[in-house]
Structure 1
Amino acid sequence: MDIRSIFTRWLEPLGAGETAPSAPSASSELTDPDSDTFWIMTGTKGGSRVSVTERSAMTLPAVLHALEILTGVFAMTPMIYYRREADGKTRADNSHLFTLFHDRPNDAQSIFLFKEVLLGDMLMAGGFANFVHRDGMFRPKSLSRLNPRAVQPAQFWDRTDGLELFYDAQLPDGSSGRFSRTDIWHVPGFSRDGLLGVNRVKLLDDMLGSAVAAGEYARHFWENNAQPATLLKAKGKVNPEDKAKIKFDWKRMFSGARKAGEVAVLDQEMDATTLGATNRDSQFVEVRAFNVVEVARAFGVPPHLLYELSRATFSNIEQQSLEFIMYSMMPHYERVASAATHYFAEPGHFFEFLPDALLKGDVKTRWEAYKAARESGAMNADEIRRRENLQPIGGKAGEEYWRPANMAVSGEPNPTSAPPQP
């Protein structure tokens, strides 16, 4: 039996009493605590319990806002389908792939929501996966998002064809099976093996867990009327039953909402002593501010975008915003565009994001740059107007390129120069 027949056998539906044939699969490594794949997906080694989930991580305002910023900026940047030409590239506006990724990925979601979920899955779950619906000509017509935690790559490698990927996935209708690459488009996030993306939430469990714990401490502290733990000391011996009663009475009288300022009357020569350090001594405010910086560092977001302005200055915020696009967003753009090109693009075509609008400076700086480009002959008026979403002037006024009067083409006479004097 050759390889192709084996693949066909894998993809056939099972009959009564049949079991799925075994295959070398990454999914088998997901349950092995000592495997690198288990570490990549869970961020743990040796199967230790992971306490932070995506839901609990998003209870942190810094995580929620960082995710909102990254996915929002990503979703508002258009991805264009281009055709390569001898002198550059042109938009393939008439292609169904242009419409699929620029206007309408499916009937249920707008392109903004689709791309927002795409990057969100890559950041929080390590990868994005969707089922590719095709028309009668086998062309992609729509995309349905799959739960990234219910999609596991199954790989097969041989010396002739190299690596072949299949996907064990559960579909939105509840059915599951093994699908080929023609059915599943999978985009891993930052990856160490090229197949599975690193689960950021699980990998950063310690950092996110400490931030969540600080929030939980603040909630319980204020729920208890900002009263720290108390030690009740008696000079005589107290039996266990009386200890339990005293503890119950104290918590009933002085714990919970609207009980601050109550008067405690102690008998049996008992004293009340406060335990633990104060919030000032434990630097509670500084810890919570540092957690914001840690989240910003983990997600690649400048702290000032998360409203952590303790060390921000007005002179460096614009530069940090440009660096955010260049060093944080551009890798996400290229990762998704190259994955779409590899999977969908026809020969001589490619996908590319257009972050030009995000890289524009303030109005004064932008128009000074346009002026320099216009006067040096690098751009004409219509090209500048198109960048500003304005209608072209048309004719020579909009199409001609200027050349400074004091410049000429090397080796050619300048027709505007005066004739030499005898």
Structure 2
Amino acid sequence: MSGYRLSSRAAEAEAARNAARVVPEIQDSSSAAVIAGDADIFEWFGGSYQEAGVTVTPATSMRSTAVWRCVTLNAGTMMSAPLGVYERLPNGMRREVPDHPFNRFLQVEPNDDMSGPEFIELQAIAMLLTGNGYGLMRQARNGTITRIDYYPPARVLPFRSTDRSVWYRFTNEDGSNEDHQASYVFHFRGPGRDAGGIKGLSAISHHAKAIGINIATRDYTAGQFERGLLTNDYFSFPENQVVTKEQRAAFKEYLRLKAQGVANAHNPLILENGAEWKRVSITAKDAQLLELLQYSVVDVARIFGTPPHMIGETSAATTWGTGIEQMTIGFKLYTVMPHMRRFAKELTRKLFPIIGARIPNLFVDFDPDALQVGDSKSQGELFSRALGGNQLPGWMSQNEVRRKKNLPPIPGGDRVYFPPETPPAGAQPDDRQTLADDEDEPSDPPPAPRKDPADES
């Protein structure tokens, strides 16, 4: 679909690239057409999905408690993991670079409106709901990054220009538009790509039916309470009693004022002319309303890869033992870690771009070990093994353990424990020093000095 035009700045960049290639592709660079897909334009104008009698959009989906908890749980877990700049070492290890200037945007303040963790949380929420999160790098004249702005997905339109390069159109709060090339834009995608090959797949659009059922079920339940749970009740009159149209309207208005709503559900009714109040013996459980609610919650949890017990659905799972612990570990490993990997790689390739075929030594990554928090007993066993002992080497120093527990370092606490060499087989524990002393002494005693007979005389 065409109809969107590049701004003057983007059109000049297009003209310069095309002139360098000597490809007369665009005769009038100021009117270069944008190539965009129908789905992009549909979402650009605020498209929605009508499923199960309700409108399903990213905003209305958050009305569902299951969707809200799944999204905030995933995004909150991601923002809890420390993010920073690291350096690749020649031995294959990595070293954190705490004084790198980019850590200001990643950890402290990407812009004047939010902190670093909040920026990651907002991008994660946008990615989980719409499949895409966007951030725009602002630079000074010398090329130094000054801030990273967050844009809601509804105000960003990615597209390909006529030379198939990727551009992004940002709509500001005042209604003005800005077009920026992909190298200045952070695009945090969800799983997969759409038909245009630019945007990630949206969980809301692909699973609108499941989310719509969850919202519709709760709306129906709320309507039951709003009407005072009188939906299955009816009133009968004697056969010879003729009820006129005006009488029916007056009786309905009487019921509405007298018994509608939870607050009036138990008020007594006064019936005249032989009218009888009867109730159909169908409860919410008989109609399988509770089962439908439970199923819809589990179905939503399945969409976002969240264990049901982590969003409060524990009717079919135990809350004790190692089963819950293993499911929690699986959530971090199979659900959160892929999202964190996508975020880290996108930040790395935009902040430290590859020049030629050389991969830069600096990169951005999360610290997933910060999410491994256990009870006091588990932590004690872990740190005891990490410090070493009982003839086993350690892999952490005392100061490293103290740093994780927010304790000050101690003198001489930077040494990692390694056990001494094992003595030969059959040697006694006290023989180790004896063996060491024997190595210092010659194997045979030196011969006695020969006396001169002249000295004896």
Q: Please, what TM-score do these two structures have when normalized by structure 1?
A: 0.80
Q: Which amino acid aligns with 2:158?
A: P
* 2:167 is the alignment partner of 1:151: no
CA displacement 1:66-89 (0-9 Å, x = unmatched): 222222221121111112221222
The structural deviation recorded for 1:44 is: 6.2
CA-to-aligned-CA distance 1:204-241 (integer Å, 9 cap, x gap): 22222222122222222122222224444553676656
Which residue, 131, 139, 147 being the options, matches 2:136? Answer: 131
Q: Report how many residues are paired.
A: 395
Structure 1 406/264 Cα, relative in aligned 2: closer, same or farther at 3 Å?
farther
The one-letter amino acid paired with 2:415 is E
Match of 2:328 in 1: 321
Mapped to 1, the partners of 2:401 and 2:255 lie a distance apart of 74
Which stretch shows the higher mean deviation, 221-230 or 256-265? 256-265
**Alpha-carbon displacement from aligned partner over 1:265-310 (angstroms, at most 9, x marks no partner):** 253x665554583212112222222332222222222222212222
Distance 1:105 1:367, change over 3 A: same
Which residue is 2:33 aligned to? 22
Deviates most, 187-196 or 116-125: 187-196
Structure 1 residue 319, shift from structure 2 partner: 1.5
Q: Does 1:52 align with 2:56?
A: yes
- 2:342 corresponds, among 335, 339, 360, to 335
Report the counterpart of residue 359 of structure 1 in structure 2.
372
| Counterpart-to-counterpart distance in 2, 1:95 and 1:206 | 46
Question: 8 Å contact 2:170–2:179 — kept in the other structure?
Answer: yes
Determine if the alignment matches structure 1 residue 202 to structure 2 residue 218: no
Q: String of CA shifts for 1:306-356, please: whole Å, max 9, x gaps.
A: 122221231112212111111111011101001111111252211110021
8 Å contact kept, 1:129–1:151: yes
| Alignment partner, residue 266 of structure 2 | 260
Deviation at 1:383? Answer: 3.7
SS in 1 for 2:55: coil
Contact 1:25 / 1:155 at 8 angstroms: preserved in 2?
Answer: yes
What is the match of residue 217 of structure 1? 220
Find 2:361's aligned residue among 332, 348, 363.
348
AA aligned to 1:306 is: I
User: Which stretch of structure 1 is more off in the superposition, 212-221 or 194-203?
Assistant: 194-203
How far the C-alpha of 1:101 sits from its partner, in A, is 0.8
Q: Unaligned regions of 5+ residues in structure 2, if any? A: 1-9, 19-28, 354-359, 425-430, 444-457
- The residue identity in structure 2 corresponding to 1:352 is D
Q: Which residue of 2 is the match for residue 411 of structure 1? A: none
Larger radius of gyration: 2
- Counterpart of 2:365, as a letter, is E
Deviations 1:137-188 (A, max 9, x none): 2122211111211212112476xxxx52001221234211432124432222
The offset of 1:253, in angstroms, is: 4.2
CA shift in 2, pair 1:249/1:125, >3 Å = same
Q: Does residue 1:303 correspond to 2:320, yes or no?
A: no
| AA in 2 matched with 1:198 | L
Q: Which residue of 2 aligns with 1:174?
A: 175
Asked if structure 1 preserves the Cα contact closer than 8 Å seen for 2:157 and 2:168, the reply is yes
Runs of 5+ consecutive residues of structure 1 not aligned to the other structure: 12-17, 409-414
Q: 8 Å contact 1:228–1:276 — kept in the other structure?
A: no
User: Structure 1 residue 106: deviation in Å?
Assistant: 1.3
What is the identity, as a one-letter code, of the residue corresponding to 1:59? R
Counterpart-to-counterpart distance in 1, 2:88 and 2:192: 29
Using the TM superposition, give the Cα deviation of residue 105 of structure 1 relative to its aligned residue in structure 2, in angstroms. 0.8
Give, in whole Å, the separation in 1 of the partners of 2:314 and 2:380: 29
Q: Which residue of 2 aligns with 1:108?
A: 113
> Aligned-pair distance for 1:259?
4.8
How big is the alpha-carbon RMSD for the aligned residues of Structure 1 and Structure 2? Answer: 3.7
1:51 alignment partner, SS class: strand
State the secondary structure of the residue aligned to 2:182: coil
Q: Secondary structure at the match of 2:112?
A: coil
CA distance in structure 2 between the aligned counterparts of 1:266 and 1:49, rounded to whole angstroms: 39
Q: Please give the per-residue CA displacement for 1:333-392, whole angstroms capped at 9, x wherever unaligned.
A: 101001111111252211110021212433322332333342332424244434444444
Which of 252-261 and 90-99 deviates more? 252-261
In structure 2, relative to structure 1, the CA distance for the partners of 1:249 and 1:132 (3 Å cut) is: same
Report deviation, 1:134.
Answer: 0.9
**Is the aligned partner of 1:189 residue 2:193?**
no
- 2:383 matched residue in structure 1: 370
- Give distance in 1, aligned partners of 2:34 and 2:52: 28
Give the share of equivalent positions with the same residue, in percent.
Answer: 24
Deviation at 1:407, TM superposition (A): 7.3
Single out whichever of 59-68 and 133-142 deviates more from structure 2. Answer: 59-68
- Can you list the C-alpha shifts for 1:96-143, whole angstroms capped at 9, x where unaligned? 212211222112211122111111111122211122111232122211
Write the letter of the residue equivalent to 2:417.
Y
1:412 match: none
